[in-house]
Amino acid sequence: MGCSCAKHNLIDNEFKVTEENNKEQIDNSEILNNQNIQNEKLKSIQIINNKNIEDNNKEILLKSNIIVQKEEKEESKQKNDEINNINIKQIKESDYLSKNIYNKKIFELINKIRQNPSEYSKYVLESIKYINIENKEELNEITDMKEIKQIIVFKKKVKIRLNKGEESFLEAARYLQNLSPMEPLKFNENIVVPIFDSENINYNNIIKNKNINLFFKGNIKNPEIAVLLMIVDDNASSEKKKRNALLNNDFKYIGIDSKFIDNKFLAHFSFSKG
């Protein structure tokens, strides 16, 4: 007969093994649950950290935008201040010129030609139609007798005697067509040579005391015709002094004064390189 004790011990051992396995499974389950809980906590912490990082990035971006906007605003204000200063200067110059209509108009015309000389050449060519040949009675200095001579005149609003006439106009138009645009002149009252009523004024002394590179006079009271004939510069010497002054890229400043003295019109033009 077999021993019952051995059987009983086998059952106990099996029970113990099963119990230990169950306990091990429970322990493993608890460990797994703890790991899951820990993972969830880590996820929560990571989410919180990510949110904090995102919030920090948003705050940094917001501050950066505020700084950029502030810098752009300051830059815009600086540009506006510069523009306003330029406008104030232009207003000052305009106010000075507006005191004399002739000064203002002739200043604007000169700068218009400087900025687009080829366009003005068309006006020079169109003006040829105002050139006429007239007969004029003049005294012959040799014979001391009066003679009838043909003279060339430009007749539009005013009547001006010319030297070569159409030939000079055509030459001026060609010159303008080949001339590059240049910067406009700036009006500088410091180089203005004022016109005095007295004829005993020595203008050469005034010019020497100012920063003037070139000076000449004019006597045509119509600004449009005055500038046209300065550009054509049809004189016997053919030095083109007036044209070379108005269309000289080296000159940066101009001074103009004009007035009537005993019903006689007179204008002063002065130029400076700087």
What six digits make up the tokens of 82? 């510069």
* Residue 107 belongs to some domain of the structure: yes
Residue-level pLDDT at 216: 95
Q: What pLDDT is attached to residue 161?
A: 94
| 138 inside domain | no
Burial class (CB in 10 A: 0-12, 13-18, 19+), 229: buried
Q: Using N-to-C axis directions, what is the helix angle for 101-115 and 4-98, rounded to 10°?
A: 130
Is residue 109 located within the same domain as residue 202? yes
How confident is the model at residue 226, as a pLDDT? 97
Q: Are 185 and 110 in contact (CB under 8 A)?
A: yes
Q: What is the mean pLDDT of each run of 10 residues along the chain (274 residues)?
A: 48 50 54 62 61 61 59 59 44 64 95 97 98 89 85 94 96 98 95 87 89 95 97 88 96 95 93 94
Nearest to 183 by CA among 259, 117, 234: 117
pLDDT at 202: 87
Identify the pLDDT of residue 200.
Answer: 79
Determine the Cα–Cα distance for residues 150 and 137; give it in Å rounded to an integer: 9
Q: Report how many domains make up the chain.
A: 2
CA nearest neighbour of 160 among 127, 138, 120:
127
* Dist. CA 149–CA 135, nearest whole Å: 5
pLDDT digits (tens, 9 = 90+) for 56-73: 665 665 655 665 566 566
Residues 119 and 218 both lie in one domain: yes
The DSSP secondary-structure symbol of 273 reads -
Q: Are residues 113 and 69 in the same domain?
A: no
Number of CB atoms found within 10 A of residue 268's CB: 20
Rounded Cα distance, 47 and 239, in Å? 89
Q: What does the pLDDT read at residue 139? A: 81
Could you give the strand order of the β-sheet that contains 264-272, starting from the edge strand earlier in sequence?
A: 186-187, 253-261, 264-272, 214-218
Angle at which helix 223-232 crosses helix 117-126, to 10 degrees, equals 100
CA distance 191 to 207: 8
Last residue within a domain, chosen from 56, 79, 98: 98
| pLDDT computed for residue 103 by the predictor | 94
Please state, as a whole number, how many other Cβ atoms lie within 10 Å of the Cβ of residue 137. Answer: 8
Same structural domain, 106 and 231:
yes
Tell me if the pTM is above 0.85: no
Nearest alpha-carbon partner for 254 in 232, 230, 233, 238 = 230
| Same-domain check for residues 17 and 34 | yes
Domain that holds residue 76: 8-98
**pLDDT, position 258:** 94
Both 219 and 119 in one domain: the answer is yes
Q: Locate 234 and state its tokens.
A: 């049809």
- Together in a domain, 123 and 12: no
* In contact, 146 and 136? CB cutoff 8 Å: no
Do the bridges between strand 253-261 and strand 214-218 make them parallel or antiparallel, or are there none, so unpaired?
unpaired
Is 267 inside any structural domain? yes
For residues 120 and 229, state if they share a domain: yes
Query: What's residue 239's pLDDT?
Result: 84
Q: Are residues 62 and 115 in the same domain?
A: no
For 4-46, the DSSP string reads: HHHHHHHHHHHHHHHHHHHHHHHHHHHHHHHHHHHHHHHHHHH
Q: Give residue 179's pLDDT.
A: 97
Same domain assignment for residues 81 and 170: no
Which amino acid belongs to residue 8?
H
